[in-house]
Amino acid sequence: MRLTRLRFVLFACVLALPQVTMAQTPAPPSPMALEAEADQRALESALLALRTGQYREALSQAENLASRGNPKAAALAGSIYEQNLIDTATPEAAVRWYRRAVTGGNSDAMLGLARLGMARKGGSTPGEALSMLQRAAANGRKEALAPLGDLFLSGAAGPKDRTRAASIYAQAASYGDADAAYAAGILYADGDPDPMDDPLKAIGYLRQAAQAGRADAAADYGLMLYQGRGVARDLKGAAQWFKTAAEGGDMDGAFYWALVNAKGEGTPQNLELAVQWARVAKGSSPDADRLLAQLEAIAAKPKPAASKP
C-alpha cells in the first residue's frame, strides 16, 4: 500500500511540473512590409508638414513618395496644387498628380479631379468629371452623388437627364444631404414631365431640407402645406414655415409670410406685420410688389372717426 501511494504522489508531482516550451524566433519582416512601413512614415511626415503650414516641404515629400507609385501621396500633391498652397501652384499640376493617384484607385483624387473638371480647369473636362464621380460613387463616396446629379441636371457632360438627376439626388438625400433633398423635392414638384411630378416624394424631400435649416426649402415646404399638395391642407403649419423662411432671409418666404398675415390664414390677421414683410419682399416678384401696393393703400386710408354715443 505504501508503494502504491508513493507512486501516485510521484505521478502527481510530474503532472504539476510547468511545461517548458521552446521560444520561437519571429520571422523577419519581408522587404515589401518594410517598404510599406517606410512609405507610411513618409506620408505621415508630409501630412505633418502640411498641418503645420510647411507647404513646400509637404509638397516635396509628397511628390517624392508619389514618384515611387504611392497613390495617397499623389493625391496629397494634387490637393496642395489645387488649393494654391504654394505660389507656383497651377491647376495643370493638380490634374497631373490627381490622374496619377486615380490610376492607383484613390477616391480622394477622383473627387479632386471631378472638381477641376466641372470647373474646366487644368485641362480636365466635365466629361472626365462625370467619369470620376461615377467611379467615386461606386467606391462608396457619398459626397460624389450630389455633384453627379448636378452634371445630369445641367447637361454639362452630355444630354440632360432630369429623371436620372432626381434619382441621384434622392439617393444622396437618403444619406442626409439636405441640399440634394431640396433639389430632389423641386424636381418632383416643378411641373416638368421629366421627371413626372410626385407630390408625396416632393413634400418629403422638401420637409427634410426645411428641417435641416434651408430657408428656401422652408418656403417651398410651407407652400405645399398651404396648397395641400401631397398632404391635407395645413394653413397653420404653412404659416409657421413661412415665418421660418422669412426670418431665414428667403424672399419668397417673406412674401408668403406677409400674405398670410394680411389674410389672417394660419395666423391672426396683422396688417402692420404684413406691410413690414411685404417691404422685405419688395422686388422679388410682381405678386410681392402688388401685395405691398395693396397693403400700403389700405394703410394710407383715413381711419373712420369714432361715432359719438
- Looking at residue 7, what is its pLDDT? 36
- Looking at residue 11, what is its pLDDT? 32
Tell me the CA end-to-end span of the chain in Å, nearest whole number: 133
- Looking at residue 260, what is its pLDDT? 98
Chain centroid to CA 74: how far?
25
Whether 91 contacts 116, CB under 8 Å: yes
Asked whether residue 158 carries a pLDDT value surpassing 90, the answer given is yes
Which residues lie closer than 8 Å to 225 by C-beta, 6 or more apart? 203, 231, 233, 234, 235, 237, 238, 241
DSSP 266: S
Rounded Cα–Cα distance for residues 98 and 102 (Å): 6
Q: State the chain's mean pLDDT as an integer.
A: 90
- Looking at residue 39, what is its pLDDT? 81
What are the pLDDT digits (tens) for 98-131?
Answer: 999 999 999 999 999 999 999 999 999 999 999 9
Look-up: residue for cell 391672426? 268
What are the pLDDT digits (tens) for 174-187?
Answer: 999 999 999 999 99
**Quick one: CA dihedral 174, 246, 249, 166, positive or negative?**
positive
Whether 231 contacts 203, CB under 8 Å: yes
Q: Which of 16-30, 78-92, 169-183, 195-209 has the lowest mean pLDDT?
A: 16-30
Distances (CA, A) of 35 to 29, 30, 51, 72, 96: 10, 9, 24, 15, 25
**For domain 213-298, which architecture applies?**
Alpha Horseshoe (1.25)
Confidence at 301, pLDDT banded by 50, 70, 90: confident
Asked whether residue 38 carries a pLDDT value surpassing 90, the answer given is no
Asked whether residue 243 carries a pLDDT value surpassing 50, the answer given is yes
Whether 66 contacts 74, CB under 8 Å: yes
Look-up: residue for cell 411685404? 278
Report which of residues 231 and 27 the model is more confident about: 231
> Are domains 44-142 and 213-298 of this chain identical in fold?
yes
Domain-wise residue ranges, the chain: 44-142, 161-212, 213-298
- Looking at residue 299, what is its pLDDT? 87
Fold of domain 44-142: 1.25.40
